A and B are shown apart, each in its own frame.
Chain A
């Protein structure tokens, strides 16, 4: 509970910071709407020539686009800002300040920066999801909703661990922010079902850069296509990666020597 309270505090600080720059809200809204228009426009063009894409109907791909924006928003809201800050604070030594605080350092690093305008992406994503669910109708029941929530959490945990592992590399190598840039361009491939891609690319998007867990898997859970094995598998991967990233973080932190040490 203490952690949630801390997250609330950091969130409030970010809100107070950002309210000084209110135009940013409209700029972000404008950019998010353009991005959504591009995604929906692409969908409309493709489905004007076909009824199914790799076995997915238009409404199912619409649900996927909703997930893409929702999870992208979560990543942009807390995961990405925190990890970028971590990398730069290892480089300039300001991580010292965080380490002296009486809370777990990994937790502080992960939640102490919040990019509040990314809430717009989350709201837009939820809007698209609701539209898709209404169109899919009776196919989405309580069980699907439950699996969906579980898979969004698992996907976010997998992406978080993935970023934490990469960001922790900055204890050894000074310039790693470029690797995170690659994630951004790979994430765009998640706008389409990964089952569409040839095996080698599907493999890369699942196990090298885990985009599939963040987008396709939750969408499959929602539309009732997810097999029990994938559900268990994704949950297991999430738990394993959380543990692995924690371990790696502790090893990395051990190496950190700070500015004055």
Chain B
């Protein structure tokens, strides 16, 4: 445990140094992360305005709150591990990671968290500006806010583990970008990014609750905007724990099989 904490601290220092070196790519990620929810915020506000200020149970101000919070939740949970892994496997850099006495996923998690410590304050500033422009309103209960904390941690872990497992496909194919895109389409629609899931017909809502995507992004947003009842909240946390267990199992299996097929150049 002690060694693991040291590893996380050390990774934080390394990431901090290298992130500050590549400020431009930080800004690019941020623009993409702000613009996409902003576009849907504007689209749904327009729909709501033509419908007399409301779509389903969500008001124009409610959409503003939903998408500004979604922007933050998406930023906290996102990973870039799929791009990184393709590079590592292709260049053979993975060999060094395999020599280390700890599982390589730890330094990846530490790297992800460290980088977000730098970007999150900027995203919060962007959220404040958007809040000032779009006047969001949401009234989540105190229990709902409290529940969103473990929900957000679980959402981060599920998304990280699933995408880390998906990144291992680089061991078998060099077409990782096609796989990424096939993953992003259901993620966009069923995590609540294109439309709040509560506006979908019941059959699609059930599908979204069975698949992992809602538990990576949509669920914490629904808690933070106060859309759920306490029972729905507890069921959601339960579903997240189930998906955490499943994704852990997935990571273990895929990693073992992947390392077996990996052969670095020169090995």
Contact = CB atoms under 8 A, between A and B. Distances in A.
A185 interface: yes
A100 interface: no
B28 A50 contact: no
Contact of B28 (A31, A178, A188): A178
Nearest to A195: B46
Given A41-B189, A185-B35, A188-B39, A50 B178 contact: no
Contacts of B55: 49
Contacts of B232: none
Interface in A193-251: 196-198, 201
Given A42-B194, A178-B25, A185-B35, A196 B178 contact: no
Chain A contact surface mostly: helix
B185 interface: yes
B3 to A, nearest CB: 37
A27 B175 contact: yes
Contact of A45 (B32, B35, B195): B195
B188 A38 contact: yes
A20 to B, nearest CB: 15
A196 B42 contact: yes
A59 B186 CA distance: 25
B235 interface: no
Contacts of A186: 31, 35
Given A31-B181, A188-B39, A49 B51 contact: yes
A126 interface: no
Interface string A43-79: 0011001111110000000000000000000000000
B265 interface: no
B28 A181 contact: yes
Interface residues of A, number: 32
B199 to A, nearest CB: 7
B47 interface: yes
A50 B35 contact: no
B18 to A, nearest CB: 15
B75 to A, nearest CB: 14
Interface residues of B, number: 31
Interface in A152-188: 175, 178, 181-182, 185-186, 188
Interface in A7-58: 23, 27, 30-31, 34-35, 37-38, 41-42, 45-46, 49-54
A54 B46 contact: yes
Contacts of B24: 175, 178
B51 A182 contact: no
A53 B47 CA distance: 6
Nearest to B33: A185
Interface in B162-210: 175, 177-178, 181-182, 185, 188-189, 194-195, 199
Contacts of A191: 39
A50 B47 contact: yes
- The residue among B43, B44, B182 with the most chain A CB atoms within 10 A of its own CB is B43
B25 A53 contact: no
A37 B43 contact: no
Given A27-B178, A38-B185, A38-B188, A49 B25 contact: no
A148 interface: no
A188 B43 contact: no
A192 interface: yes
B57 interface: no
A53 B42 contact: no
A81 B39 CA distance: 27
Interface of A: 23, 27, 30-31, 34-35, 37-38, 41-42, 45-46, 49-54, 175, 178, 181-182, 185-186, 188-189, 191-192, 196-198, 201
14 contacts: A27-B178, A30-B181, A35-B181, A41-B189, A49-B199, A50-B51, A175-B24, A178-B27, A182-B28, A185-B36, A189-B35, A191-B39, A192-B42, A196-B43
Given A49-B47, A178-B28, A186-B31, 4 more contacts: A34-B185, A38-B185, A50-B50, A178-B27
The 8 closest A-B pairs by CB, nearest first: A185-B32, A178-B24, A50-B47, A181-B28, A27-B178, A45-B195, A34-B181, A31-B181
